[in-house]
């Protein structure tokens, strides 16, 4: 279901009104015209980056098939989701004059490390997945977030947990990343008295042994556990919680909302509640995605498709330079498969909602 800032269910967007990357088939553009994708394509969080680049590729594939006079190239860049690696990769994008727009960076930490580089280059960067709220507060001129930030997700999900689901005691665990810390802070504030400080915990990305955290949580006996982090740690954490006879509802957010979480956690994932500012894949999109990539779309695939479509429609409108495409995105106002896209002066969506899913 989709929820608003009060944690209440609201109707979803109508995919029938979404922009079509194919356009009218008459577009022309320079043969070198390219857009980049920047995110983790290898490493423990690669599934998220692959979801994104595949969404981008689907949009551009549909565009190119319909527009023989404008063959846009997709250039993927692997950051491994690591801010230090991203700081080396993003300059490569900036220094490629054929690239006039970027879908990414994918993660909050790497975006924080490289947003100024992209801004200084005047290169529009539309992120389908970086949700740390502070990213739009740095004075960057080219960053646009394609989904709700953690300061929207946190309070919305907190109100859902307390007011709709009725949980009275929640343990908040975070992974010490920029994303995890920011979302945990927002969730904790939104939960108010329902957030039990006696079982608040932090882990490190890459950890696999969570016995101390499990014991801490078991001693408190919560109704729910909110994990603020990514699926690579969420899967073994929920397994160890269940092995430790902790039956509280496991709740997490977009960093965990990926098929890899269910695959890695197995039966322990059953009943988990996962929030995401990302929308579900409409049937027609899912079919086209699977035909092209041989697998089902995942978290952020729809957003990546929508954002690549926006860049493609800008190119089709004659904006084949960095300044032109930046101004096009800045003034964009239209529907996508996931939601309506229109940005304020800081690069935040004018309206943003949250989805809540339950693992069956």
Most confident of 45-49, 202-206, 323-327: 323-327
Statement to judge: residues 61 and 89 lie in one domain? yes
Residue 107: pLDDT over 90: yes
Q: Tens digits of per-residue pLDDT, 240-252?
A: 999 999 999 999 9
Q: Which residues contact 148 (CB under 8 A, 6 or more apart)?
A: 131, 156, 277, 349, 352, 353, 354
Statement to judge: residues 108 and 20 lie in one domain? yes
Average pLDDT, the chain: 96
Q: Which class for 56: exposed (0-12), middle (13-18), buried (19 or more C-beta within 10 A)?
A: buried
Q: Tens digits of per-residue pLDDT, 110-140?
A: 999 999 999 999 999 999 999 999 999 999 9
Q: Tens digits of per-residue pLDDT, 169-200?
A: 999 999 999 999 999 999 999 999 999 999 99
Q: Specify the number of domains making up the chain.
A: 2
CA distance 338 to 360: 22
Q: Which domain holds residue 303?
A: 8-149+279-352
Residue 63: pLDDT over 90: yes
Give the per-residue pLDDT at 42. 98
Statement to judge: residues 206 and 318 lie in one domain? no
Residue 12: pLDDT over 80: no
Statement to judge: residues 75 and 142 lie in one domain? yes
Give the per-residue pLDDT at 16. 82
Task: Produce one character per residue of 319-358: b if its CB has 16 or more CB atoms within 10 Å, e if not.
Answer: bbebebbbebbeebeebbbbbbbebeeebbbeebbbbbee
Give the per-residue pLDDT at 6. 78
Q: Tens digits of per-residue pLDDT, 250-270?
A: 999 999 998 899 999 999 999
Give the per-residue pLDDT at 70. 99
Please check whether residue 358 lies inside any domain of the structure.
no
Residue 351: pLDDT over 90: no
């Amino acid at each position: 279901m989709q929820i608003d800032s009060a944690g209440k269910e609201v109707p979803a967007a109508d995919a029938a009104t979404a922009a079509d990357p194919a356009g009218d088939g008459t577009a022309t553009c320079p043969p070198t015209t390219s857009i980049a994708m920047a995110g983790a394509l290898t490493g423990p969080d690669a599934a998220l980056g692959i979801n994104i680049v595949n969404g981008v590729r689907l949009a551009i594939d549909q565009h190119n098939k319909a527009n023989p006079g404008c063959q846009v190239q997709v250039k993927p860049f692997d950051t491994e989701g690591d801010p230090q690696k991203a700081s080396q990769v993003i300059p490569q994008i900036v220094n490629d004059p054929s690239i006039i727009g970027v879908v990414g960076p994918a993660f909050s930490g790497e975006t924080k490390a490289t947003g100024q580089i992209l801004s200084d280059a005047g290169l529009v960067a539309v992120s389908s997945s970086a949700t740390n709220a502070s990213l739009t507060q740095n004075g960057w001129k080219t960053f646009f977030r394609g989904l709700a930030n953690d300061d929207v997700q946190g309070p919305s999900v907190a109100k859902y947990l307390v007011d709709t689901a009725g949980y009275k005691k929640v343990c908040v665990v975070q992974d010490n990343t920029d994303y995890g810390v920011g979302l945990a802070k927002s969730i904790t504030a939104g939960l108010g008295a329902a957030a039990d400080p006696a079982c608040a915990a932090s882990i490190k990305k890459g950890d696999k042994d969570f016995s101390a955290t499990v014991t801490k949580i078991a001693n408190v006996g919560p109704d729910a556990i909110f994990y603020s982090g990514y699926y690579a740690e969420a899967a073994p954490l929920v397994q160890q919680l269940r092995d430790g006879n902790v039956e509280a509802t496991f709740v997490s957010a977009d960093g965990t909302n990926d098929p890899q979480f269910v695959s890695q956690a197995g039966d322990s994932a059953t009943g988990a509640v996962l929030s995401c500012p990302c929308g579900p894949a409409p049937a027609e999109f899912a079919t086209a995605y699977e035909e092209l990539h041989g697998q089902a779309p995942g978290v952020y695939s729809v957003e990546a498709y929508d954002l690549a479509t926006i860049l493609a429609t800008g190119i089709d409108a004659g904006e084949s330079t960095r300044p032109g495409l930046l101004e096009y995105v800045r003034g964009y106002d239209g529907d996508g498969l996931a939601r309506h896209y229109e940005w304020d002066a800081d690069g935040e969506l004018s309206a943003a909602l949250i989805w809540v899913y339950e693992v069956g």
